[in-house]
Amino acid sequence: MKIYVNGKETIINDNARNVLEALKEVGIEIPNLCYLSETSIYGACRMCLVEVEGNGTVTSCTLKPYEGMKIKTHTPDIYELRRGILELLLASHNRDCTTCERNGQCKLQKYAEDFGIRNVRFEKLDKSNIFDSSSLIIRDNSKCILCGDCVRACEEIQSVAAIDFAYRGFEAQVVPAFEDGLANSECVYCGQCVAYCPTGALTFRNDTKELYKAMKSGKTVIGMIAPAVRSAVQEELGLEGDMVMAGRLVNFLKMIGFSKVFDVSFAADLVAYEEAHEFKERIENGYKLPQFTSCCPGWVKFVEQFYPEFIGNLSSVKSPQQALGTLVKKIYARELGLDPQDIYVVSFMPCTAKKYESERPELAGEVDLVLTTKELAQIVKASGINLKHVQPEPFDRPYGLSSQSGLSFGKTGGVLGSVIKVLEEPLNISEISTEEAEGIRTTKIKVKDGRIVTGIAVFGLGKAREVIEKIKSGKIKADIVEVMACDYGCIGGGGQPYPNNSAKRQERARILRETVGMDVLVSPVENYHMQELYKKYLIKPLSEESHKILHTSFKH
């Protein structure tokens, strides 16, 4: 479609959702504070105003492009309007930027800088200063600009609706249901509200200090790195696209005092192997199908809260994080001749809900500290060590080897794909076909007796809710369902760097795919360190020994 932007003929995408998105694609980023491409359009901040010939000054997020339209994006009037909006917001904003978790990554701060705002003309207005640190997600209403991004992310993308607007006018606030702390709400700790919040109104608990405390305690500190961390941490470190980031991180962590660094992908192979055998047993006995994956703690809490009748469908295999923590504490400690109490396990995760998972009563003590990708980047930055100059090193053995399958857990479809890989031989799979429609990936596999087994992979809890409802009403049939709470899977986790949007998530998926491609082992079955573990300790999948180490239970 041809339009005219600031006097220039411009060809834009015919299918653009609105003028704001169309112009972004041709290199004009219209300032905005309340627009998310993934949710409905709110149109409240009015920062995205543009002048349209014959139509006056209108918000570009609500404006559909049409052939021949003439737009001006940066007139003196628009500049004044935007500056005024920013000053009004800043008048009632808590401006403790230097100590704010979002310092340097706040959209409001960026616009204040871009517009050269040094003084605010309006009188300072003190908003009610509600601060909720009861949960992993910390809410500071003195920094909230009422853009509603968090409310829409939680309600529309995740279908959790743990937070909403309350009160009117100057008193308006975003609060959890019944105005109780988030810890007492239905929040599943996915962190998507934090990922989309443009300011420091929502942040997650920063636990980096705990690491330094542990290192001083004299304990043996052992690290583990999740698949999705390695495809995103470089965004914070100016090393975009670095394919050997995991190896550099291993070396870096050793330099600052870690005694071993293991790969969560090793445990992902193990979990896939165990979960595949659990699935085989369920389909052979017709027991509680579909089997639901259970490595995403946000999804597990979602099932426990909203679909308790499906708790028995969750695979009882622990997540790779918890499985690896248990291996270290129960088996590796013995091999080293150490008391598990003297080992401190630190897990680096893309996810805020992983902190919650490690603190669940039935899993507590397996992993001592969970730090997100963002916290890891802070540790690197504080050290002053430039990772570009740190040589990659392999993960430590025995829990350092992984297959392509284990590594692909970090993006959506990875768990399901790994389970199918493991079952190729035992079920004599002859055909595999995959199709994707409306965000739901369906894989059909033909097994030895000619039966077709159906697997579904879905991301986002809103989509997962749709899938469960369709399973309940018989509209779809599935034997195994993989759910990851965040868009694109763990690579879109709430602990990943800002901005944490679709474009960044797609780029992380690409990096992870390429990293996966470099792995020489394809299937978890080929992971000989995993096979050794079975020979020495676990005997076989679903054995009593393996149940003690690798399986868990859920809250009814």
What span, in angstroms and rounded, lies between the C-alpha atoms of 108 and 88?
12
The 10 Å CB-count burial string (b at 16+, else e) for 15-46 is ebebbbbbbbeeebebbbbbbbeebebbbebb
Indicate which of ligand SF4, ligand HC1, none lies near residue 319 (CB less than 5 to 8 Å, by partner kind).
Answer: ligand HC1
What span, in angstroms and rounded, lies between the C-alpha atoms of 353 and 528?
31
Indicate which of ligand SF4, ligand HC1, none lies near residue 265 (CB less than 5 to 8 Å, by partner kind).
Answer: ligand HC1
What span, in angstroms and rounded, lies between the C-alpha atoms of 552 and 21?
45
C-beta of 215: minimal distance to ligand HC1 in Å? 23
Q: Is the separation of the CB atoms in 458 and 441 below 8 Å?
A: yes
101 is catalytic: no
208: left (phi over 0), alpha (psi -120 to 50) or beta: alpha
319 counts as binding ligand HC1 under rule CB under 6 A? yes
Which residues in the 163-182 window bind ligand SF4 by CB under 6 A?
A: 163
# binding residues, ligand HC1 (CB under 6 A): 21
Point out the catalytic residue in the list 278, 366, 466, 482: 278
DSSP string, 473-500: TTSS--SEEEEESSTTGGGG-TTSPSP-
Which residues in the 137-156 window bind ligand SF4 by CB under 6 A?
A: 137, 153-154
What span, in angstroms and rounded, lies between the C-alpha atoms of 95 and 443?
50
Q: What would the 3-class secondary structure string for 89-145 be?
A: HHHCCCCCHHHCCCCCCCHHHHHHHHCCCCCCCCCCCCCCCCEECCCCEEEEHHHCC
Entry field: residues in the chain: 556
Which residues in the 89-128 window bind ligand HC1 by CB under 6 A?
A: none
Q: Is the separation of the CB atoms in 122 and 88 below 8 Å?
A: yes
299 counts as binding ligand SF4 under rule CB under 6 A? no
Nearest to 505 by CA among 486, 493, 492: 492
C-beta of 271: minimal distance to ligand SF4 in Å? 24
Nearest to 478 by CA among 464, 461, 488: 464
Q: Is the bond preceding 497 in cis, omega lying within 30 degrees of 0? A: no
Q: Is the separation of the CB atoms in 552 and 271 below 8 Å?
A: no
Nearest to 110 by CA among 135, 89, 127: 89
Point out the catalytic residue in the list 21, 357, 366, 466: 357
Nearer to ligand HC1, 227 or 290 (CB): 227
Binding residue for ligand SF4, selected from 19, 34, 160, 480, defined by CB under 6 A: 160
Indicate which of ligand HC1, ligand SF4, none lies near residue 541 (CB less than 5 to 8 Å, by partner kind).
Answer: none
C-beta of 196: minimal distance to ligand SF4 in Å? 8
Point out the catalytic residue in the list 275, 393, 466, 482: 275
> What SS3 class is residue 294?
coil
524 counts as binding ligand HC1 under rule CB under 6 A? no
Hey, what are 265's tokens? 């992908």
CA atoms within 13 A of residue 549's CA, in its CB half-sphere: 26
C-beta of 419: minimal distance to ligand SF4 in Å? 26
Binding residue for ligand SF4, selected from 193, 201, 246, 300, defined by CB under 6 A: 193
315 is catalytic: yes
296 counts as binding ligand HC1 under rule CB under 6 A? yes
320 counts as binding ligand HC1 under rule CB under 6 A? yes
Binding residue for ligand HC1, selected from 39, 321, 500, 527, defined by CB under 6 A: 321
Stretch 249-278: interaction string toward ligand SF4, x if CB under 6 A: ------------------------------
Hey, what are 260's tokens? 């071993």
Hey, what are 70's tokens? 């003439």
188 counts as binding ligand SF4 under rule CB under 6 A? yes
Binding residue for ligand HC1, selected from 22, 49, 160, 226, defined by CB under 6 A: 226
Among the listed ranges 23-31, 68-76, 150-158, 317-325, the one in contact with ligand HC1 (CB under 6 A) is: 317-325
# binding residues, ligand SF4 (CB under 6 A): 14
C-beta of 484: minimal distance to ligand SF4 in Å? 13
- The burial of 309, by beta-carbon neighbours within 10 Å (0-12 exposed, 13-18 middle, 19 or more buried), is given as exposed
Q: What are phi and psi of 459, to 5 degrees?
A: -125, 150
295 is catalytic: yes
Binding residue for ligand HC1, selected from 28, 153, 162, 295, defined by CB under 6 A: 295
236 is catalytic: no
Point out the catalytic residue in the list 315, 319, 402, 523: 315
Which residues in the 244-273 window bind ligand HC1 by CB under 6 A?
A: 264-265, 268
Which residues in the 380-419 window bind ligand HC1 by CB under 6 A?
A: 409-410
| Beta bridge partners of residue 345, listed in sequence order | 222
> What SS3 class is residue 446?
strand
C-beta of 154: minimal distance to ligand SF4 in Å? 3
Indicate which of ligand SF4, ligand HC1, none lies near residue 188 (CB less than 5 to 8 Å, by partner kind).
Answer: ligand SF4
C-beta of 99: minimal distance to ligand SF4 in Å? 23
Sheet of 369-372: strands edge to edge?
260-263, 220-225, 343-349, 369-372
> What SS3 class is residue 542?
coil
C-beta of 355: minimal distance to ligand SF4 in Å? 11
Stretch 472-511: interaction string toward ligand HC1, x if CB under 6 A: ------------x----xx--x------------------
Nearer to ligand HC1, 252 or 356 (CB): 356
490 is catalytic: yes
Residues that bind ligand SF4 (CB under 6 A): 137, 153-154, 158, 160, 162-163, 187-193
Catalytic residues: 275, 278, 295, 315, 354, 357, 362, 490
Residues that bind ligand HC1 (CB under 6 A): 226-228, 264-265, 268, 295-296, 319-321, 349-351, 354, 409-410, 484, 489-490, 493
